[in-house]
Amino acid sequence: IDRHAAAFGNGRAPALDAGAYYRYRRDGEYHAFNPEVWRNLHKAVESGDYADYRQYADIVQSRNPIALRDLLEFVPTDPIPLEEVEPIDKIATRFVTAAMSLGALS
Please count the structural domains in the chain. 1
Look up residue 30 and give its amino acid. Y
64 occurs within a structural domain:
yes
As a whole number of angstroms, the distance between CA 56 and CA 53 comes to: 5
CA angle, 35 then 60 then 52, to 5°: 75
53 occurs within a structural domain:
yes
102 occurs within a structural domain:
no
Q: Which residues of 20-50 are buried (b: 16+ CB within 10 A; e: fewer)?
A: eeeeeeeeeeeeeebeebeebbeebeeeeee
Look up residue 90 and give its amino acid. K
What digits encode the pLDDT tens for the residues 4-45? Answer: 888 877 777 777 776 667 788 888 888 888 999 999 999 999
Residue 21, domain extent: 2-75
More confident residue, 76 or 25: 76
The upper half-sphere exposure of residue 20, i.e. CA atoms within 13 Å in the direction of its Cβ, equals: 11
What's the predicted TM-score (pTM) here? 0.55
DSSP H/E element including 81: none
Q: Residue 29: name the closest of 58, 68, 66 by CA.
A: 66
